[in-house]
Amino acid sequence: MSTVTESMATEAANFRDSYNQVRDMIGRVIVGHDEIVGGVITAMLVGGHCLLEGVPGLGKTMLVRTLAEVMDLQFNRIQFTPDLMPADILGTNMIVEDEQTGRRRFEFQKGPVFTQILLADEINRATPKTQSAMLETMQEGTVTAAGHRYELAKPFFVLATQNPIEQEGTYPLPEAQMDRFLFKLVVGYSTRDELATIVDRTTRGEKPQLSKVLDGERILAMQQLVRGVILAPHVQDYLVRLTLATHPDGPHSVDATNAYVRWGSSPRGAQTLALAAKVRALLDGRYNVSFEDVRRVYLPAMRHRLLMNFEAQAEGIQPDTVLLKLLEKVPEKGD
């Protein structure tokens, strides 16, 4: 059995301090939405991407902008529209003329995707052709243009937003691209007290003072620390069975899966559960993942990886409903 050394305990404490500093800074601007803020920071600390879904005006874009402001990282924003082309985000080869020799040559002009934090605003408004251009950057951290491959700076995070209500003129993200997101976070309405605080903060002309909390080198070190957290075999088996339970008509499926799910999670779902649960363990001062850590990250890690069938759509059954049933039915100890 591994023993937690004094240096490991110190690293865990520093990890929590850095996390809390980022969360507190964001809290100066964003009122409430604690689970959303925590999910975004968690995704960043494991090197994943986030999809924020909610109606307009709930602070999704402001959250991403604030996160970028408290990070010492390069930030770009792309407003996705139906006429946006892949070259508009990736870059393109352009003819340039040498001032001294007068000779012309092709030179690659980098697009806005060459950054470290990328806000992909209303990503579902872009055409499938442009959406697919994001796949390589999100998965590999590279851009290929005219036969040349260009590396993006690390760390690299895509934080995308989409509106779930207004569907006219939109192009739903394909399953392959949805799977590239570590978390899908659903941004809901503010409470009465939170809305009152928002009105106070935003109508007095006072701008909160923010300072840089983390830089790229520190984030990469924190990502490495996460991967060193212990995932015991029995806990790993639990998250594997939770993943397999999303597959209809499989050996681990339940009635809700068979009734409402067309396709279940890919192996990326299990990888997400493992990494995100490791972050939760560190935030609780532990170097080993618990069953509860897995349960706390199950919904945001899985809700976008379930493809619901016609019966679910007809009855208004959402992925979260099925996932909650799985958490209820799948036992901690397997056969």
What structural domains does the chain harbor? 1-83+114-204+212-227 (3.40.50.300), 229-335 (1.10.8.80)
Any idea what DSSP says for residue 124? G
The answer to whether 300 and 183 are in contact (CB under 8 A) is yes
pLDDT for res 169 = 58
**117-121 and 157-162 strand pairing:** parallel
From first to last of its 335 residues, the chain has per-residue pLDDT tens of 455 567 777 888 889 999 999 999 988 888 888 888 899 999 999 999 999 988 777 778 888 888 888 888 888 999 998 888 888 998 887 777 777 777 777 777 888 999 999 999 888 888 888 888 887 788 888 888 777 888 898 899 999 988 876 666 567 787 878 888 999 998 888 888 888 888 887 787 777 888 888 888 999 999 999 999 999 999 999 999 999 999 998 888 889 999 999 999 999 999 999 999 999 999 998 889 999 999 999 999 999 999 999 999 999 899 999 999 999 999 988 77
pLDDT for res 4 = 59
**pTM to 2 decimals?**
0.88
- Please tell me whether residue 288 adopts helix, strand or coil conformation: strand
Which positions ≥6 away from 158 have C-beta within 8 Å? 49, 50, 118, 120, 134, 137, 138, 181
pLDDT for res 203 = 80
Any idea what DSSP says for residue 169? T
pLDDT for res 105 = 74
